[in-house]
Amino acid sequence: MNYQEYSAYFKGILEKDAAEQQPPYDNPDYLDYTNLNWSRMNRWFKTGKLSEEILEVVSKIDRPQSWIVITEPWCGDAAHNIPFIEMIARKNPLISVTYELRDTAPFRIEQYLTNGTRSIPKLIVRDQEGNNLGTWGPRPANCQLVFTQLQKEKAPFEKIKVEIQNWYNANKGEDLQKELVGVLSGTL
């Protein structure tokens, strides 16, 4: 699906009555995360700024690329990263982006595990023949360090959520863009 279709799917979950929700959204916690993520995504689309460096690299892409984003509306990391990925892709008409749900066929995530896990979001960059040019995800490296440290400390899930949220709010997409500069530079 394209971004508009993904967005409509996302919004459709939020508009359903609780009794109509399908798993995992029949769990109130997942529905709460999804509602928060909708707000986060829309906020980044309004306030997110792209760096000159990422704009320069994206402008140099001179052959069609297909970007596949594996995601789910309940994923907090996706809510913070997808808006930047989408805004970057929109800067070059040679880039097309599709969104796939991790937990729905074709289950492409199985080919792109992170340390053996189905972590999302995952960005796959391909050429027009379908060859992989690069991947990114599920979160910026410095954010992953925060997450790993909190896991080592056996921090409660609530603390992890807050710390990761704070990291994203302070970083404002800067690390993601720097990392995508590296990924995309390798595709030129």
> What are the pLDDT digits (tens) for 67-105?
999 999 999 999 999 999 999 999 999 999 999 999 998
Please provide the average confidence, as pLDDT, over all residues in the chain.
96
The C-alpha angle with vertex 31 and arms to 25 and 33, in degrees rounded to 5, equals: 125
> Sign (positive/negative) of CA torsion 78, 137, 114, 168?
negative
pLDDT digits (tens, 9 = 90+) for 111-125: 999 999 999 999 999
pLDDT for res 41: 97
- By the 8 A CB rule, do 40 and 79 touch? yes
Q: How far apart are CA 121 and CA 102, in angstroms?
A: 9
Question: Residue 187: pLDDT above 90?
Answer: no
Q: How far apart are CA 119 and CA 186, in angstroms?
A: 23
Q: How many CB atoms lie within 10 A of CB 165?
A: 15
pLDDT band at 24 (very low <50, low <70, confident <90, very high): very high
pLDDT for res 91: 98
Asked, as a colleague might, if the bond just before 23 is cis with ω within 30 of 0, I would say no
Phi-psi region of 49 (alpha: psi -120 to 50; beta: other; left: phi over 0): beta
